[in-house]
């Protein structure tokens, strides 16, 4: 699993393969409002899908 944060210029500014390093829901919300985009496994995901992914991981 690879998670990436992309800035408004399309540059990856953070990446990780550790689920525990993905920012929490509050931080992701602020980042999204600031214009950052998110990718999981190289595919752009919405904030909603990313939050669903995190909830699934917590329940697993």
Tally the domains of the chain: 1
- SS3 for the chain is CCEEEECCCCCEEEEECCHHHCCCHHHHHHHHHCCCEEEECCEEECHHHHHHHHHHHHHC
**Is the model's pLDDT at 60 over the cut of 70?**
no
pTM given for the model: 0.87
Residue with tokens 């408004």: 8
pLDDT digits (tens, 9 = 90+) for 1-21: 899 999 999 999 999 999 889
Q: Does 56 have pLDDT greater than 70?
A: yes
Q: Domain range holding 43?
A: 3-59
pLDDT digits (tens, 9 = 90+) for 30-49: 999 999 999 999 999 999 99
Residue 34 phi, psi dihedral angles, 5° rounding: -85, -5
């Amino acid at each position: 699993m690879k998670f990436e944060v992309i800035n408004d210029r399309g540059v990856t500014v953070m990446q990780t393969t550790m689920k525990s390093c993905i920012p929490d829901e509050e931080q992701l919300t602020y980042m999204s409002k600031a214009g950052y985009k998110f990718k999981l496994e190289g595919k752009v995901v919405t904030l909603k899908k990313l939050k669903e992914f995190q909830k699934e991981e917590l329940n697993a």
